[in-house]
Amino acid sequence: MSEPAYELLRSARALAASGLVSGGGNRTVLIPGERPASERVFAVTASTLAVLGVRPTIGRWISLDADRVGGPAEVDLSYELWQRAFHGDGDVLGRTLRVSGKLYTVVGVMPRDFTFPARHPQLWVSMALKPAMLAAQNLTNFNCVMIGRLRHGMSLAQLDTGLSVLLPRIEQLMDPSDRAWMQHGGTYVASMPLRQFLGGTTRGRLLMMQLGAAALLLLAIGSLVNLALARALRRRDEAALRIVLGAGRPALFSQILFEALPLGAAATLSAWPLTELGMQALTGYGVASPSTPFSLHIGAALWGAATGIALALSSAALALPLLFVPVDRPAELLYGTGKGGGTGSRVRPLRLALSIGQIGLAIALLAGAALLGRSLRNMLDANPGYSGRQLYAATLLLQGSEYKNWGAWQAAHQRLAAAVAALPGVRGSGIGEGVPFSGGGSGSGFSPAQDRTPNGPTPLGAITIAGPGLMNTMGLRLLSGRLLDTSDAASNSTNVVIDERFADALFGRADVVGKTLNCALGDGTCRIVGVVGTIQDRFALHYAFAAGTAFVPEGPSAFQQWGGGVTTVLIRSSEPPDVLAREMRTLVQRTLPDQTLIAFSSMRSLISESTQGAAALASLVIAFGLLAFALAIIGTYGVVAYVTGLRRREFAIRQAVGADPGQIESLVLNQGLMLWAVGTLVGVGCALLFARSLAAELYRVSVFSPATYAWPAVVVGTAVMLASWIPARGASKLDLITQIRPQ
């Protein structure tokens, strides 16, 4: 949402209250008596509180006066910052601090668990909507989020209808070129529940985790039922005696439950620390994406509910054999007589079905693990388009009103560049904005210059403002033409360099040097002077919808259009990372005393972080698959051994009348082969459904690759046959006299 669009859309009749949250990112914060620090800051309108309905711990929320031009500049602190920087001082209200060079008065402290609209916010500063911000040329500056609370009785569908009615008014106010770009791109306005917006990509990953956990739960229950059935058959003499003495199913169930309680207690005690460690790992490792404003944890109520459900399911699984116990016919239990051939023959179909289900789920989870594993390998193996070896990125935000001027911004960059070049061990350096994988960045529409009225959506290019030395320091793979140099920045040229993927999106080919494009620089056209290798930016946040990357020269035009964001200093150095980081922080404090570094990282770690969420999900599904594989093998061994036990006398008689051991082994192995064949059919079907739900998380992997489903089936089949071979070997060595001798 842009500020002027918010002013128009907030009048929608379905809204009882609305607020605007702008940007959000690290800003330089100066607290009197402290050194400058980088903190996460959000600018908000005072009306935001009416939507959220959260009261500060102390003080008050930003006043309505702060929304007006010339009103007071006010700030609310996070509970964490209050404790860390002000030591929980109750007299913090009325004190002042500077954010990006502007003085604010502290008016309140928010509750400890208030994390809107992203994780770890530290300050909420007042945002006055000035006339310049509401000008029509800012209608397409989509750098805010509008939140609202529905009127009683209104629905999201009614709100969307009301917003859509207002959309033409926004388009009419736009500049003609912006209007054409928006219309070709397919402009629409829609709302979503705040919970869904805050969840982001985490929702899908948690769903995948839940599916995997549900499959493991089914496997565990299947194994437990199989074990309970085997236990019941081994103890049928004892059960028959208890029934003769008057015990019924309730008494037998009480015995089972009493024996299971110690195991349940031990499992509960071991699960608690494992669960806590798991939640910390999931949050820190990236399943909960950094933009998700909540961490994963389990409270006492949820833990109690989960424990109760687990105990109920396990108790039901352990009690299932009681359904097959003929309490009114103990002789059948003891000797296996009756129309059904005894208890053993009646439970055989259930055990076979459970094993088939275990094998099928194991194949499905292993196939999902294979898809995500291949996807992760493709991410990590992909050439990012430039050399990340000994390349480091230091990011800062030039904050203060003076840096809104091109001259001051350029002078600061020049001072930084000169100071960085003088550091020991530095073999190359460059400064720019929107450097791939470093955070920040902008996007803009491009189209071939001859296509003045494009018929389809204009391809969106991720913009990197390249200062002197940046492209050489990156080590880009030049395919044709040249890179941007000092002369491009000095002359405020409209030359651009694009990557191969963007060239293909614009022209369907890569040999495009000398072509002109419609763009937002200068007179509206720019010239391609070089093509570099594709920037593998699929997982960088600000490249999510880009068709490619465009490098534009640092200059007044680029600064006016896209500048003023996160400045990135790229350094290629042989110095150890910790030493270089310390030197960079000292350098910034000396060169620009009122600024501070937001972050310092190696380029390789930044690229790795961009795949963190996908890597976490892949690791979890792989772990689920391996656990499922182990459970399936144990279950198969148990069933084949059990079926072999039922047929021991038959096998002994077969050998007595001339069958050789190999034939007996084949009969037993056929049982395992049948389980594997049916389980494979079930597993591949489940795997296809699972793969379709994983499609959004996959990178350069087809969900319909036959090899993806073949190798899990082969691996599980091999293990199943090995598990079947052990009882088969035992069956081939049975002695008839031993089998028919009274026990």
- The answer on pLDDT for 456 being more than 60 is no
SS3 at position 193? coil
- Overall average pLDDT of the 679-683 stretch: 91
Give me the residues paired with residue 219 across strands: none
Euclidean distance between CA atoms 133 and 549, whole angstroms: 28
How far the first Cα of the chain sits from its last, in Å, is 82
Please give the structure tokens belonging to residue 411.
Answer: 């002078």
pLDDT at 701 (0 to 100):
83
40: part of which helix (H) or strand (E)?
Answer: strand 37-44
The identity of residue 556, as a single letter, is P
CB 208 within 8 A of CB 621: yes
pLDDT at 185 (0 to 100):
59
Please give the structure tokens belonging to residue 730.
Answer: 């035992």
pTM: 0.67
For the ranges 49-53, 72-76, 419-423, 494-498, which has the lowest average pLDDT? 49-53
CB 144 within 8 A of CB 21: yes
SS (H, E, C) 296-314: CCCCHHHHHHHHHHHHHHH
- The answer on pLDDT for 569 being more than 80 is yes
- Overall average pLDDT of the 381-385 stretch: 75
pLDDT at 6 (0 to 100):
92
From residue 528, how far is each of 329, 434, 636 by CA, in Å? Answer: 90, 19, 63
Residue of 465, 404, 438, 397 lying closest to 99 (CA atoms):
397
SS3 at position 124? strand
Euclidean distance between CA atoms 105 and 66, whole angstroms: 11
Going through 345-484 in order, the beta strands assigned E by DSSP cover 391-397, 426-433, 442-445, 447-448, 460-466, 478-481
Q: Tell me the per-residue pLDDT of 255-304, one tens digit each, with 9 for 90 and over.
A: 777 777 777 778 878 887 877 777 776 666 656 555 566 666 677 788 88
User: What percentage of the chain exceeds 70 in pLDDT?
Assistant: 86
Alpha helices in 465-563 (DSSP H): 470-474, 486-490, 500-507, 556-562
> Using only C-alpha atoms, what is the Rg of the chain?
34
pLDDT at 181 (0 to 100):
64
Q: Tell me the per-residue pLDDT of 171-221, one tens digit each, with 9 for 90 and over.
A: 888 877 677 766 665 667 889 998 888 877 677 777 777 888 888 888 888
CB 628 within 8 A of CB 366: yes
pLDDT at 155 (0 to 100):
92
Euclidean distance between CA atoms 477 and 670, whole angstroms: 58
